[in-house]
Amino acid sequence: MVSDCKAGWITRAAEALASSQSAEAVSLLVWALGDSRPVVREGAILGLEGHVRGPRGDEVRELIHQHSVHDRSPGVRQAARDALADSEPSGSEGG
């Protein structure tokens, strides 16, 4: 299906934006979070994970958290939870 192909393309592009240092990358990924297709929202989460420590990190972390709790897709919620766990600084264990 054409729409499935388009969703896959958008998803791969969103994931690729994780490594972009472009100021527009986060805005595009936030836009993709509003897509009706779970695969696109999941790609956006994966893309946003690369920006958690960037200039908009607090905003990005909050958006990911919101999707980890409220997204209607269990797969997107899990991807968001994984992204939050992966973005935690290593070595943060108490001692």
* Mean pLDDT, the chain, whole residue set: 86
Q: How many domains, in total, are found in the chain?
A: 1
Domain that holds residue 42: 2-86
Q: What is the pLDDT of residues 7-39, one digit of tens each?
A: 777 777 877 888 787 878 999 999 999 999 999
Residue 93 belongs to some domain of the structure: no
Please return the burial class of 65, using the count of CB atoms within 10 Å of its CB with bins 0-12, 13-18 and 19+. middle
Residue 92 belongs to some domain of the structure: no
Residue 48 belongs to some domain of the structure: yes
Q: Which residues contact 16 (CB under 8 A, 6 or more apart)?
A: 47
Query: Do residues 40 and 4 lie in contact, with contact meaning Cβ atoms separated by under 8 Å?
Result: no
Query: Do residues 43 and 10 lie in contact, with contact meaning Cβ atoms separated by under 8 Å?
Result: yes
Residue 8 belongs to some domain of the structure: yes
Residue 73 belongs to some domain of the structure: yes
Q: What is the pLDDT of residues 75-88, one digit of tens each?
A: 999 999 999 998 87
Please return the burial class of 13, using the count of CB atoms within 10 Å of its CB with bins 0-12, 13-18 and 19+. middle
Residue 49 belongs to some domain of the structure: yes
Q: What would the mean pLDDT of 44-70 be, rounded to a whole number?
A: 94
